[in-house]
Structure 1
Amino acid sequence: MLVHGGYSSGNHTPSFVPAYKPFSETLNKRDATTKQIRGNFSISENLATFKSSDSASDPPIDWIPRYSSYINRSQRRLRQGGLTKTLPAGFPARVESPLAWTASELKKEEYTVVLSEEDILEVERGLRDFKESKLAISLITRQTFQLPTLGPRLISLGTSLYNGRGFFVLRGLNPKKYSSEENVLIYAGISCWVAEKRGRQDEHNNMLQSRTNKLQPYHTDIGDILALYTLGQAYTGGRSKLASTGAIYNELAETRPDHIDTLQSPEWIFDTFGRAGEPYYKRPLLFNQDGKMVFAFSRRILTGSKVSPRTKGIPDMTDAQADALDAVHFTADKHALTLDDGQLGDILFWNNMSIVHARQGFIDGGPMNQKRHLLRLWLRNEELAWKTPEVLQSAWNVAYGSDDVSEEKWPIEPILDRDHVTTQRRSSGHG
């Protein structure tokens, strides 16, 4: 399924001021060689500069993380002591994999794949042939959208999503050359060579929807592979941020094993917002899948937000959970790659099982009346896919069709119905 992302209409210019200080930005302003919190949980001098209290009356945890609240809570819990210093059974001391990276290790030319003129001509021939076939968009496959030269290279790039760095940017398309329908066809055609299975992103089976322009904290979606095709760029902001789950795990396993214990606990409260028989359900945030560390969460479902307030009467998040959830966010931000050189026509692919992602807030408009407009796909490579955590399997079955035989819908233009967007369960993450 395909979804419009970050599309806005009208002349509304929102206010969005991040409520937290990016962890990486904070560290850059301080001594880069500062000690990390080690097994004895001694807080570093740099972090101790924040005013804190031993009371348990920290502000409630928010959808948008607050760095000062995180530090205060973390310091208080460290002083109180009694935190476990051992990892849960079966969890490794460290993940050794190309998928465990930090942004400073990456070179732009290694993850950016530029299409040649010949590649683009081949894509356009595939587009022409598919249009002439009169087949429905849902029938795009490697057989119906043929890319004899580019296709095998895309298959290889798809493999790198599982055993390489876990992401890449495909560059060189000019979406302004094509109609809205042609852009969808091209996107689906290219993507099926990267990973053939497409997922349904909401319970309405729609492909295109509007999205908020607020910043998005680190989270994962439902599914294996995510893709974003840039049809329009914001006047300012809106950049995607990717962080390796392996890097997050390695730092927390070394410095705060109690967080790993909390994250893998099945006691996390997921709000259903009144859309299911029960007001909430429980499951872990972190899974050990054959030695691969997999995060699966959407922060809004755990904390609520102004648009989706937390359901009254459901259990509160514990102090340990709030500390661990914020630790994931700020550790992710420390290691994250911000794709700040994104171009019109870029297609970004990443492994949702090995990477958490976030997005800057953005403003549309400016002298050229720019509007951020991205198309999103959920994909899966059936041959290379990791084993899905058991408690997530039903959601994966719905997304990828095992439990859903209803017709796919591919609306070419974005759906701007607020009620439609705010009542979705699947598309927003793990609702």
Structure 2
Amino acid sequence: MSTTIDLTPISGPSAWRGEDLAGSTEWIYQLSDAERDELEAVGRRFVADDPDMRAVTADDYPLDACTGLIEECARQMDSGRGFILVRGLRTPEYGDAVAGAIFFVMGLHLGSPMPQNQYGDVLDHVIATSDKTMDDPTALPSRVRDRLPFHSDSSDVVALMCLRGAREGGASSLVSGTTIYNEILRRRPDLAPLLFEPWHWDWRRQDPDAPANTYQSPICSYVDGVFSTYAGAQMIFTAQEYPEVPRLTEAQIEVLHLFDEIAQEPGLPLDMDFQPGDVQWLLNYAALHSRTAYVDYPEPERRRHLLRLWLRRDVGRPLVPGFGKSVIENPREPLPGGRFKIADAVVPNESWGL
């Protein structure tokens, strides 16, 4: 395994700029009639079967007509741009349960769904249940309407399905981690090597059951010619509140701010306005994600509502040891109240995030 850092620009399909993609549809996979028909039939069968979502497997719900779709989603995540948007589902016609079932079955064919909260839910929600803002330290990013900073999630893959869009705003924003690194290297080659050094991340705020206050991970990994990123400066800065964590140097603070500034520069992010039925698949090591602020419709049933999956996807991607968020090997038993039947799982917990 070669981890030699060659401080030259990284090339390849993951080094994209949003302004170059915004005028094209090359990142959108339009379902064929046969693919859509199969997904809808599988979704209806899933709802009728009503399985425990923790026990079901991809083999239980084969997708023969969608082989090309699954292969293209995998290719784009593993060795392409790092993301793909699948369009063409008619979710308003068959409702949230069938839509959620289709989403979940697609996820089974691309990885292993991960629990996303202390209840063990494998299907979670991005929906505003609170009027808090991100200035409030108790705010849950998935349950408010503010703009979010670019970040990586605690999984290999994060996927979103749009059930309903916002009245205004709420675009899903992606930015290439490779392009951010290349820009830092171009502007401040003296700071770029710091991204490959270990950083302390706030583990306790991400997971109250964490066995330690922090874990360590680089922001960038370059192994056997494969470049990966793991970002979220907020968790690095809040880790400074623990007395055992070494203080950040001026250079480290400077590169963190530069990373975030570049991520938000016009021309780099790609903003996509979700349509009902859109499904976005994203490899966390290739691209960072965010969203713009939004305004909801006044009727509760018309609120912006996305379903979210976190997947483990083990395809042998080479990474430096200890890259990304540490995984608790023996987590505690989930709290009572988890939702593992699809009809329940697609209904958000309205008290979550208050």
TM range (shorter): 0.7 to 0.9
Tell me the equivalent position of 2:326. Answer: 395
Does the 8 A contact of 1:127 with 1:145 survive in 2?
no
What SS does structure 1 have at the residue aligned with 2:59? coil
Does the 8 A contact of 1:268 with 1:283 survive in 2?
yes
Matched, 1:219 2:151: yes
How far off its partner does 1:360 sit? 0.9
Q: Structure 1: give runs of 5+ residues left out of the alignment.
A: 1-87, 423-431
Match of 1:204 among 119, 128, 131: 119
What SS does structure 2 have at the residue aligned with 1:95? coil
How far off its partner does 1:315 sit? 5.4
Matched, 1:294 2:225: no
Output the CA distance in 2 between the equivalents of 1:244 and 1:160: 13
Q: Deviations over 1:248-304 (max 9, x none)?
A: 111212221222222222244536349456544444322223333322233332234
Q: Residue 277 and residue 157 in structure 1: after superposition, are their counterparts in 2 closer, same or farther (change >3 A)?
A: closer
Tell me the equivalent position of 1:325. Answer: 256
Output the CA distance in 1 between the equivalents of 2:169 and 2:181: 28
What SS does structure 2 have at the residue aligned with 1:325? helix
CA RMSD, Structure 1 to Structure 2 (Å): 3.1
Q: Which moved more, 1:266-275 or 1:159-168?
A: 266-275
Tell me the equivalent position of 1:251. Answer: 183
Tell me the equivalent position of 2:195. Answer: 263
Output the CA distance in 1 between the equivalents of 2:300 and 2:115: 34
Q: Residue 131 and residue 231 in structure 1: after superposition, are their counterparts in 2 closer, same or farther (change >3 A)?
A: closer
Tell me the equivalent position of 2:164. Answer: 232
Alignment map for 1:127-138 (pairs within 5 Å): 127-138=43-54
Output the CA distance in 1 between the equivalents of 2:199 and 2:31: 47
How far off its partner does 1:325 sit? 1.2
Tell me the equivalent position of 1:94. Answer: 9
Matched, 1:378 2:307: no
Alignment map for 1:40-189 (pairs within 5 Å): 90-106=5-21, 108-189=24-105
Output the CA distance in 2 between the equivalents of 1:393 and 1:269: 10
Q: Residue 372 and residue 389 in structure 1: after superposition, are their counterparts in 2 closer, same or farther (change >3 A)?
A: farther
Does the 8 A contact of 2:226 with 2:318 survive in 1?
no
TM-score by length of 2: 0.79
Does the 8 A contact of 2:170 with 2:293 survive in 1?
yes
Tell me the equivalent position of 1:191. Answer: 107
How far off its partner does 1:333 sit? 2.4
How far off its partner does 1:191 sit? 2.5
Aligned sequence identity (%): 23
Q: Residue 122 and residue 262 in structure 1: after superposition, are their counterparts in 2 closer, same or farther (change >3 A)?
A: same
Match of 1:354 among 286, 293, 312: 286
- Whichever of the two has the greater Rg, that structure is 1
Does the 8 A contact of 2:172 with 2:273 survive in 1?
no
Output the CA distance in 2 between the equivalents of 1:318 and 1:269: 15
Tell me the equivalent position of 2:130. Answer: none
Does the 8 A contact of 1:225 with 1:351 survive in 2?
yes
Does the 8 A contact of 1:226 with 1:351 survive in 2?
yes
Output the CA distance in 1 between the equivalents of 2:24 and 2:65: 24
